[in-house]
Amino acid sequence: MRRLALSLALCAAPVWGAGAEEFVTLKGHGGPIMALAVDDADRVASASFDNTAAIWQEGRPTWLEAHDAATAAVIFGPRGALFSGGDDFAIYRWQQGQPQDIGRHAGKIRALDVSLDGAFLASASWDGTIGLWSLNGGAGQQITVGAGVNDVRFDAKGRLFAATMTGQVQVYDTPDATPRLLAEQGFGINRLVLSQEGWLAYGAVDGGTRVIDMETGAQIADFTLDRRPILALAYHAQGQQIAVGDGHGYIMMIDTRNWTIARDFRAMREGPVWALAFSRDGSRIWAGGIHDVIYGWPIALMDSHQAAGNETRSFLQAPETMSNGERQFMRKCSICHDLNDAGQRRAGPHLAGLFGRAAGSLPGYRYSRTLLQSDLIWTDETIDALFDQGPDHYIPGSKMPMQRITAPTDRQDLIDYLKTATKLPEDD
């Protein structure tokens, strides 16, 4: 299955051969795009809900598989290494396609950053801490923030700036120092970008998009619109541009020379903009969202392109167009599972031939140890129990996210739908 997915991806036209004025796509992931990064060689790194990270070069992906849940953060580091963090609380360093376990949090990891000297990696986690990991073999440490941390950034002096779920920007002059409160607002701050020119920009849950002085916290500019939340920020220093992605699917481009909105573009036909990164030369903006595709717009011609994403995601289909059983599948299962063996990369295994299949037995899928050691067989009764109790209670330790269907009639409708939709041709 993985070989088929890779071969399909390799058949795509080489994106790096596209002209500077062309809209391009990177295809191959099997879930929403959660984070993006670009290195000095113009390689694109992506993190996806399908549990994988990828490095794209000449339009071709190298798949990186180690996370047991959605991969939520990626950042390039020294000597071409990539770092990834995910909803499985784990951080990995990738070199030559091989993972090295850097460290663990007690909650989901939302962001990563590497210090300018390449000596440290910082991680932001919803467990209320910042992880500080030596990249030269030293011991790591945890900085207790006291609230979930959405983003973390090093400045040129090695200080750490943290954005919290409680709406604060905190500054740590050293890991052991008492943090200084730089900014505070009533809603959580999701993203930060820093400049060596002395300003900091942040985006918040309430749509707040502000630029402040890194030392005093004094406001420099306010670009808050009526769209929320702000989910992605990217900065290109040479191009003097900030890209802002929001929950309505727009990308706003801010000119930092005169603090004006240079462009405001509907990028996604449906869903939010979760991830942004500039190309090395700043001429292109890469973006990801609810679709499985990474989109690349030439910035100079953004306004001339239509919103991306022509196909409605299965879990966003109109409820009235489906039976109740299909509706339960689309809402609860379709983002992770395919009904047939189409060879597409997904967070979960395909469901073709599900009934009577032993749990953890599908070749090519990287199951949790819990399911590999399980004697569970998928039947009407076990599927009903799975959604009645929830995976975390019925199969503790599995990778399946918390999902329950509380109404017995809804569970039965789902089972009836799956019996038909997952039937193999030879079973007819």
- Closest of 317, 313, 307 to residue 290, by C-alpha: 313
- Domains detected in the chain: 2-304 (2.130.10.10), 314-427 (1.10.760.10)
Residue 71 reports pLDDT greater than 80 = yes
CB 345 within 8 A of CB 29: yes
Residue 409 reports pLDDT greater than 60 = yes
For residue 49, the 8-state DSSP code is T
Residue type present at position 188: G
- Closest of 37, 35, 114 to residue 79, by C-alpha: 114
Q: What is the pLDDT of residues 210-232, one digit of tens each?
A: 999 999 999 999 999 999 999 99
Predicted local distance difference test score (pLDDT) of residue 89: 97
Please list, in sequence order, all residues whose beta carbon lies within 8 angstroms of the beta carbon of residue 393, skipping any fewer than 6 positions away.
none
Residue 384 reports pLDDT greater than 90 = yes
- Closest of 343, 332, 341 to residue 401, by C-alpha: 332
222 compared with 313, residue with greater pLDDT: 222
Predicted local distance difference test score (pLDDT) of residue 11: 39
What single string gives the DSSP state of each residue in 263-284? Answer: EEEE-BSSS-EEEEEE-TTSSE
Predicted local distance difference test score (pLDDT) of residue 12: 39
Mean pLDDT of the chain: 92
Q: Which two tokens stand for residue 114?
A: 């590497």
For residues 242 and 253, give the distance between their C-alpha atoms in angstroms, rounded to a whole number: 6
Handedness of CA 266, 270, 275, 278 (dihedral sign): negative
Instruction: Name 193's bridge partners.
Output: 201
Residue 398 pLDDT grade (very low, low, confident, very high; cuts 50, 70, 90): confident
Predicted local distance difference test score (pLDDT) of residue 317: 76
What single string gives the DSSP state of each residue in 125-173? Answer: ETTSEEEEEESSSPPPEEEE-SS-EEEEEE-TTS-EEEEETTSEEEEES
7 compared with 104, residue with greater pLDDT: 104
Q: What is the pLDDT of residues 93-152, one digit of tens each?
A: 999 999 999 999 999 999 999 999 999 999 999 999 999 999 998 889 999 999 999 999
17 compared with 172, residue with greater pLDDT: 172
For Cα atoms 372, 378, 380, give the angle at the middle one, nearest 5 degrees: 160
Residue 350 reports pLDDT greater than 50 = yes
Residue 278 reports pLDDT greater than 60 = yes
Alpha-carbon dihedral angle through residues 5, 296, 291, 378, given to the nearest 10 degrees:
20
CB 151 within 8 A of CB 111: yes
Q: Which two tokens stand for residue 150?
A: 């959405």
